[in-house]
Amino acid sequence: MSLLSVEGLRTHFISRDIDNRVRVAHALNDVSFSIDRGRILGIVGETGAGKSLTAQSVTGLLRPPARVVGGKAVFDGRELTAMSDDELNTVRGAEIAMVVQNPRTSLDPLTRVGDQLVRTHQVHSGGPVATSRQRALEMMEAVGIPDPRSRARAWPHELSGGMAQRILIAMALMNAPKLLIADEPTTGLDVTVQAQILDLLRDLVARLDMATLLITHDLGVVAHFCDEIAVMFAGAIVERGPVREVFRNPAHPYTAGLIAATPERLRSGERSVQFGGPPPDLYNLPKGCHYRPRCPFAGAACHAAPPELETTPGHRALCHFAGAFDRAQEPAE
Ligand SMILES: Nc1ncnc2c1ncn2[C@@H]1O[C@H](COP(=O)(O)OP(=O)(O)OP(=O)(O)O)[C@@H](O)[C@H]1O
Ligand SMILES: [Mg+2]
């Protein structure tokens, strides 16, 4: 059984307009994926696709007017989406840890970094402080911080961006979580530092047997660091499967377009599949397939909602023509 399995998750923003009419933004429409221990799943998709919202919906960090209205997330046999805030608080931080984008705003500027690590451990373990201190030094070492004893006394503003991000990862690991969720953990860092941190992350995942959800807009990062990929469009996972398989045989036209538009492919002179366009209006999604207005292959069948089809074992796409979308416009026999 997977450590985390998310099935048909739907999240809406419910508000009222100036005439007091209810307005619903369909932000997550059908999110299904699973992660096993020791594996890294990369979630990719354009801005506004719902990647961060997925992490927040799964971990109970949504704020009104956002609300999970359907589906469920099951973690280690327990349904997260049915837990009280207290239960979620206990699970978060201890069993599920998060690393978010901006290390500067995630660290407390008024506390030395070592003390922040100790505090994170104390909140959940409650054991002797000396044990927490020892663990803090170990974790700083594990994330490649040189001379942990003296760095532990540093203030956050004394750290470079890369070091601050390492501290955040160390903090996420303090309580030996089973699941790590990293939302754009290296955005804004230079390419070399980014690669170092992702290498480190991959190492730790294997060593600690964690399951990891890595959110990124960078397909190159997924290709190099993830085992599985989930591609999001308009609040739905439109394709998922093993990384090599999906990159070699994209089954959904959106994924094919994304891959064709990566800088390496464009440089090699490969013809890019046209796939850009405005993001769909979440208040008024197109009928049937939500990708239809932007899909260069869309045919008549695409006015109906697509099923999720499995093309090879574990490789699925939300498309009437999964794996054969270039034939969608051919007349049926
Ligand atoms: N209060 C709100 N009311 C309606 N829609 C909202 C509200 N807040 C956010 N959204 C929408 O929710 C969608 C999902 O946003 P989310 O932050 O998950 O995107 P993302 O995939 O993480 O994008 P990025 O790559 O930019 O981080 C967006 O399209 C956004 O417009
Ligand atoms: Mg985001």
Atom of ligand 1 nearest to the CA of 184: 27
Q: 142: helix, coil or strand?
A: helix
Residues 161, 167, 171, 173, CA torsion sign: positive
User: Which residue out of 282, 285, 290 has the highest number of ligand 1 atoms within 8 Å of its CB and is therefore the one to mutate?
Assistant: 282
Nearest CA to ligand 1 atom 30: 48
Q: Would you say residue 66 has pLDDT above 60?
A: yes
Contacting residues for 176 by C-beta, under 8 A, at least 6 apart: 208
The closest residue, in CA terms, to atom 26 on ligand 1 is 47
Ligand whose nearest atom lies closest to the CA of 279 = 1
In the reported structure, the alpha carbon of residue 250 is separated from the centroid of ligand 2 by a whole-number distance in angstroms of 23
Task: State the closest ligand 1 atom to the C-alpha of 55, by its place in the atom list counted from 1.
Answer: 18
pLDDT at residue 69 greater than cutoff 80? yes
Per-residue pLDDT at 111 = 95
Q: Which candidate, 197, 195, 219, places its Cα nearest to that of 142?
A: 197
Q: Is the pLDDT of residue 332 over 70?
A: no
Give the type of residue at 296: P
pLDDT (tens digit per residue) in 39-59: 999 999 999 999 999 999 999
Task: Kindly give the residue spans of alpha helices, DSSP state H, lying in the chain.
Answer: 51-59, 85-94, 103-106, 113-125, 129-142, 148-151, 161-173, 191-208, 219-225, 243-248, 253-260, 263-267
- How many CB atoms are located within 10 Å of the residue 150 CB? 9
At 85, is the secondary structure helix, strand, or coil?
helix
Distance CA(109)–CA(131), nearest Å, equals: 24
CATH topology of domain 4-95+177-327: Rossmann fold (3.40.50)
Domain positions in the chain are: 4-95+177-327
Among protein residues, the one with the nearest Cα to ligand 1's atom 19 is 48
pLDDT for 235-274, tens place per residue?
A: 999 999 999 999 999 999 999 999 988 766 655 655 555 5
Please write the tens of the pLDDT for every residue from 129-142: 999 999 999 999 98
State which of 28, 44, 53 you would mutate to test the pocket of ligand 1, scoring each by most atoms of that ligand within 8 A of its C-beta.
Answer: 53
pLDDT score for 281 = 95
27 lines ligand 1 (CB under 6 A): yes
| Residue 290 to residue 327: CA distance in whole angstroms | 19
The pLDDT score that the predictor gives to residue 300 is 92
